[in-house]
Structure 1
Amino acid sequence: MIVRIMGEGQVRLADSHLAELNKLDDELLAEIESGDEAGFRRTFSALLEAVRRLGEPLPADALEPSELILPTPDATIEEVREMLSDNGLIPG
Structure 2
Amino acid sequence: MIIRIMGEGQYRAPEALCNELNKIDNKIVALVAEGNAREFRTEFMKLISEIKGKGEALGVEEFLESDIIVPPEDLSFEEAKAIFTGDGIIED
Q: Deviations over 1:29-85 (max 9, x none)?
A: 111001111001000000110111110000022221001000000101222222235
Give distance in 2, aligned partners of 1:31 and 1:78: 13
Unaligned runs of 5+ in 2: none
Give the SS at the match of 2:24: helix
Q: Aligned partner of 1:73: which letter? A: E
Q: Aligned partner of 2:77: which letter? A: I
Unaligned runs of 5+ in 1: none
Q: Which moved more, 1:3-12 or 1:60-69?
A: 60-69
- TM-score, normalisation: structure 2: 0.91
Give distance in 1, aligned partners of 2:10 and 2:3: 5
Question: Residues 35 and 85 (structure 1 numbering): CA distance in 2 closer, same or farther, change over 3 Å?
Answer: closer
Name the residue aligned to 2:49.
Answer: 49
Give the SS at the match of 1:38: helix
1:28 aligned onto 2:28: yes
Alignment of 1:1-92 (within 5 A): 1-84=1-84, 86-92=86-92
Give the SS at the match of 2:38: helix
Q: Percent identity?
A: 35
How many residues of Structure 1 are paired with residues of Structure 2 in the alignment? 92
Displacement over 6 Å in runs of 4+: none
Give distance in 2, aligned partners of 1:85 and 1:15: 23
Give distance in 2, aligned partners of 1:81 and 1:69: 16
Give distance in 2, aligned partners of 1:18 and 1:81: 22
